[in-house]
Structure formats: C-alpha cells, structure tokens
Amino acid sequence: MEIRSAQTKDLEAINHIYNQVIPYEISTADMVPYSMEERLEWFRAYDRSKYPVFVADINNEVAGYFSFSPYRPRRNAMRYTSEISYFVDNKFRKKGIGTSLMNHAVNKAPGYDFKTLIAILLAHNEASIRLLEKFGFSEWGRMPGVADFNGKERDHLYYGLRIS
C-alpha cells in the first residue's frame, strides 16, 4: 500500500467511498450522495498545499482517503487547527487502512503548521472513536441530539488532538 497525495483522477473513487457510507447513518451526517461536480468543487475548495487530501492506493485502486480542511475558515485565530476526515472503502475495511491513513496524517500535520487536529463525528461511530483514541485524540465536546436522521437523533462529537 502506498499513501500519496490525491489527484483529480482519484475523485471518482473518493466520491464512491464517501457516498457508500451515507445510507448507514454512522460515518457522516450527509443524507444525500455527492455528485461528481460537488466532489470536484470540494477538491478545489482549499489550497491543497496547505490542506491536502491523501489516498491509500493498493495496486492502483483507492482503498481510502484522508483530508485536512480548515477549521472555521476565515477565522484567522484558528489557522493552526485543521479538521480531519477519513473514509475507507467497504471492501478494504478491517485491513489497517484507516490506521495507516491516520498515522500518515498525524505525522504530516506539523509540516503544515497544524498544532491541533479536530475530528467531528457521530457518537455512535464506534470504529472512528476507537481509531481516534488509538492516536491520542480525546472527546472535547458533545452536541446532544443535533443530528436528526428522519426522527433518529444522534449526538455529534468533537474529538481533538494537540500536536507536540
């Protein structure tokens, strides 16, 4: 497996990976799949030299991805904080892809001048909580019942890590 910077050619796979988790109501609060136009807009939204996207590539197939995004864009006091997101293709789950992506990202974060990483997730996403805690993240905040999946209310969590 190689972890490399995402390229435009990877967006179809990235979009597929993200859209496949939406129906499960665990890994994202999105309820409508992204179109390819929306995915391209997402990819172009930030300066990738500061907020990169990495993919886990296994034999030229994208198995998962990780992105850094600005936390509270335009609020310059937050410039050393990045929101992180990560997703693994269903067929590559439980093979260490998430761990490899997270390890890569945490090690790369200081090179982008990040002092703090924030993960925002749903409280019933136990796999992500385990992964975050494995890397030293801890719960910094909870917003009770703010995610509503057609009558099923879920808590939204903020997990954080200070980079030393």
pLDDT band, very low/low/confident/very high, at 164 (cuts 50, 70, 90): confident
Amino acid at 107: N
Residue 137 reports pLDDT greater than 90:
yes
Q: What pTM value is reported for the model?
A: 0.94
Amino acid at 45: A
Q: What is the reported pLDDT for 114?
A: 98
Q: What is the reported pLDDT for 8?
A: 96
Q: Of the candidates 45, 43, 46, 49, which has an alpha carbon nearest to the alpha carbon of residue 10?
A: 43
The tokens for 5 are 């910077």
Across residues 147-151, what is the average pLDDT? 96
Residue 93 reports pLDDT greater than 90:
yes
Domains assigned to the chain: 2-162 (3.40.630.30)
Across residues 134-158, what is the average pLDDT? 97
